[in-house]
Amino acid sequence: MKIRAAVLEEFAKPLVVQDVELHGPKAGEVLVRLVACGVCHTDMYTASGVDPSGYAPTVLGHEGAGVVEAIGEGVTSLAVGDHVVTLFSPQCRECVHCESTKTNICLAIRDEQGQGHLPDGTTRLHRIGDGGEPLRHFMGTSTFAEATVMPEIALAKVNPEAPLDRACLFACGLSTGLGAAMNTAKVEAGSFAVVFGAGMVGLGAVAGARLQGAERIVCVDLSEDRLELARGQGATDTFIGGDDAVERILEMTDGFGADYTFEATGNVKVMRQAVESARMGWGLCTVTGVAGKGETLDVVPRYLITGRRIAGSSFGGVKGRDQVPQLVDRYLAGDIDVDPFISHRLTLDEVNKGFDLMHAADGIRSVIEF
């Protein structure tokens, strides 16, 4: 079938919206008609050319939601008409990692996905014409397109009552933040938490800490507008970040530091602040931000040998097929306020505007509607 898609032709160049050929699903695969897709920082990061694992040409996009239109042989967990959220972090439910409660990083298709292929080592995306050049699948998803073909194990079936323009945010940013607090850190009721960064992931972490029953939640950012959104998600205290951030947090905690800190900026200097703001004895710093190529986190060992810990969090530790539907249900129940995250609504032809808005720190998330 012919579809419209946004193709990364060259790094550091605007995406090119064009017609491409999408072949139907093979065994274990599903064709999804996209309804909405978020424009995420990871898409921009790869498009810029600084992502060491990036590749081109590829159809970008990974934060999508849509409706199943066709299924391949052997697909049993999904049917035509199901509403789904795309998962760049799949869940096969069979590999040693999926069977463990310690991680959500599925191993089943990781190697091929990292190369932009579907599990059989080929692609379903091609340029128009005889012998059309294959186009790679970004993060196994390629949701900057009217439709996509994905592995069954990389789709979460969600409640059809959930508007798909909201549900798509659970495909990456929102689930990452919520899960960082709920799964990775396992924030305890009555605790003191600090979130550095009030973008989509940081705001999700604020909401996650609230859902876990944290008594005090501090959010630190450079934007007063974003801090206002953080207060709406449950932050009890907010302040503009700077060189004195650690000192201010220590003052709030009688010199001890916070039980839990979360870093959601990708800035290694802020990561260090998050470590140094964690409580002596048992403070846990959870890092979700993606640093630049070659950057390192500089931590004084004394902070660790006095009891602080650092954890990384991929997709918030969320096992996608099982837990994304649960998070969407909590949204439908009123526990998570998703509407404030949607700052701009775009068409596919305006995808590069979504990157421009992100560069300008204008809003939280632009959503493409098909």
List, by residue number, the catalytic residues: 40-42, 62-63, 92, 95, 98, 106, 110, 172, 365
Query: 125: how many CB neighbours lie within 10 A of its CB?
Result: 27
Query: From CA 225, how far away is CA 211, in angstroms rounded?
Result: 23
Residue with tokens 């969600």: 158
Structure tokens at 118: 């579907």
355 CA to centre of own chain: 16
User: What residues have CB less than 8 Å from 94, skipping those under 6 apart?
Assistant: 108
Q: Which residues are paired to 194 by β-bridges?
A: 218, 261
